[in-house]
Amino acid sequence: MKSKFALAALAAVGAVVISGTLSAASDVKPQNAGAPFNASGYYDFEITFSSDGKTAVWASNRPGGHGGNDLYYAEFKNGTWGPAINFGPAVNSGVNEQEAAMTDDGQVVYFTRYHDPKDFLSGDLYISRKVNGKWQKAQSWNDVPELPALNTPDGEEHCPIFVHKDLIYFSTNRKGTQASDIWQVARKNGVWGKPEPLPGTINSPHRDHIHWNNLSKDKKALLVISDRPDGGSLGGSDEWISRMNEKGEWSTPINLGPTVNSSGNEICWVPTPDGSFMGATNRSGLGQGALHFVKGTVLTLQGFEADTAAPINIFKIQ
C-alpha cells in the first residue's frame, strides 16, 4: 500500500502555523500513514522529519531487524516515499532503540537505547555519526565531549530538544523527578551546567516527556506527552500543550482533545513540515499501534507556530 501521507511541495519549510478550534464533534480522524511508515501487524512509532520533509526517521519492531525496536529511515524522491531502511548494527542492537532524530545533513542521529526492553528506567541517550558513508558504532552522550553528560543509572529517555546550541530540554527519571519529568541543561562559556527541571507546573506526579519538533518556533510553547489522569485526560498517554509565561515558567499542560487523543495511548506526535500532525496511536481497532496523521487546522494549538527544524549537528559548533 502506498503511503497516504506525502510531503512533496513544501510552501513554508520550518514555519508551519497550525491553528483553529477543536470540538468533540469534529469528524476529522487520524488516518493511517501507510507504507513505508507502517508494517501491518507490527508497531511503528516516534517519527521525526528533516526540515525539508524528505527524510523520515522512526522506530519499529517489524521483522528483519536486530531485535527489539529498531530505528528506520525513508527518503522522499521522485514524488514518492522509498522503502524503510534499517540503520544497521552500528545503531541498532538486540534491545530497544527508539526516539530518534537526524540532522539535516544526514551525518548525525540522536536516539535513546533502552538496555532493558521492558523498563523505561533503563534508557540512555546515544549518538551515531556517519563517516565516509557508514554509520559508526553508537556512543553514549556521556562519552561525547561536545554533549552534556546526561545519562544516569536512573534512566533518560526520548529525543532531547536542542532549543539552541547552548540549551537542551530532555526527559529523565533521575532522582528528584516525580516519575519522568522534563528537564533542561544550559551551557555557559563553553561549559555545560547542572541539569534542572523545567520551572512552572509543566511536570506532574506522572510520566511526562517530550519529543523532537515539540517546541514552538518562538520557544514559548511545548507539546508534552503525559499519562496524567486528570486535567482533561482522555485515558492512557495523551498529547498536551504547555505555554511559557512572562516569568519564564511553564503552565499546566492542556489536553489537545479527541481528534488526536483517545482512551488508548498517543505518543510522540509531531508537526510535520507540510502542516500535518503525525504520531502513533493504539486507539480501539488499531491493534498494537501505528503511525497516523491529521491534516488540517483542527487542533487546539491556536497561535502555535511549529519549529520543524532538524536537530543541531553539534560537531559543527565551536
In a domain, 314, yes or no: no
Question: What CATH code is carried by the domain that includes residue 275?
Answer: 2.120.10
Q: How many CB atoms lie within 10 A of CB 104?
A: 16
Residue 37 near residue 281 (C-beta atoms within 8 A):
no
- Flag whether pLDDT at 151 surpasses 90: yes
Residue 127 near residue 146 (C-beta atoms within 8 A):
no
Question: What average pLDDT score do residues 133-138 get?
Answer: 96
- Flag whether pLDDT at 244 surpasses 50: yes
In a domain, 11, yes or no: no
DSSP symbols for 78-112: TTEE---EE--TTT--SSEEEEEEE-TTSSEEEEE
- Band (302; pLDDT cuts 50, 70, 90): low
- 132, with CB counted inside 10 A (0-12, 13-18, 19+), is exposed
Sign of CA dihedral 232, 238, 239, 245: positive
State how far the Cα of 253 lies from the Cα of 307, in Å rounded to an integer: 19
**Residue 165: CB partners within 8 Å, gap ≥ 6?**
187, 312, 314, 317
Length of the chain: 318
- What the block records as the C-alpha cell of 148 is 552534556
Task: Please name the helix (run of DSSP H) or strand (run of DSSP E) that holds residue 305, with its range, or none.
Answer: strand 304-306
The number of distinct structural domains making up the chain is: 1
State how far the Cα of 255 lies from the Cα of 2, in Å rounded to an integer: 32
- Band (117; pLDDT cuts 50, 70, 90): confident
Q: How many CB atoms lie within 10 A of CB 21?
A: 11
Question: What average pLDDT score do residues 233-251 get?
Answer: 95
- Write out pLDDT tens, residues 5-53: 444 423 222 223 333 333 333 447 888 999 999 998 899 999 999 999 9
- Flag whether pLDDT at 173 surpasses 70: yes
State how far the Cα of 201 lies from the Cα of 178, in Å rounded to an integer: 12
- What the block records as the C-alpha cell of 263 is 482512551
Q: Closest Cα to residue 53, out of 273, 275, 270, 303? A: 273
State how far the Cα of 271 lies from the Cα of 301, in Å rounded to an integer: 11
State how far the Cα of 293 lies from the Cα of 257, in Å rounded to an integer: 15
The pTM of this model reads: 0.90
- Band (79; pLDDT cuts 50, 70, 90): very high
State how far the Cα of 41 lies from the Cα of 274, in Å rounded to an integer: 28
State how far the Cα of 56 lies from the Cα of 16, in Å rounded to an integer: 17
* pLDDT for position 20: 30
Q: How many CB atoms lie within 10 A of CB 183?
A: 22
- What the block records as the C-alpha cell of 152 is 544516569
Q: At CA 24, angle to CA 22 and CA 28, rounded to 5? A: 65
* pLDDT for position 300: 62
* pLDDT for position 175: 83
Residue-averaged pLDDT of the chain: 86
State how far the Cα of 242 lies from the Cα of 305, in Å rounded to an integer: 13
Q: Which of the residue ranges 28-32, 68-72, 265-269 would you say has the lowest mean pLDDT?
A: 28-32
- Band (297; pLDDT cuts 50, 70, 90): low
In a domain, 3, yes or no: no
In a domain, 285, yes or no: yes
* pLDDT for position 224: 96
State how far the Cα of 73 lies from the Cα of 55, in Å rounded to an integer: 7
Q: Which of the residue ranges 73-77, 83-87, 192-196, 281-285 would you say has the lowest mean pLDDT?
A: 281-285
In a domain, 8, yes or no: no
Question: What average pLDDT score do residues 84-88 get?
Answer: 98
More confident residue, 8 or 204: 204
Question: What average pLDDT score do residues 280-302 get?
Answer: 72
Percent of residues, the chain, with pLDDT higher than 70: 87
List the domain range (segments joined by +) for residue 122. Answer: 16-309
In a domain, 134, yes or no: yes
Q: At CA 97, angle to CA 135 and CA 152, rounded to 5? A: 105
Task: Please name the helix (run of DSSP H) or strand (run of DSSP E) that holds residue 225, with its range, or none.
Answer: strand 221-226
In a domain, 316, yes or no: no
Question: What average pLDDT score do residues 146-172 get?
Answer: 94
In a domain, 1, yes or no: no
* pLDDT for position 47: 96
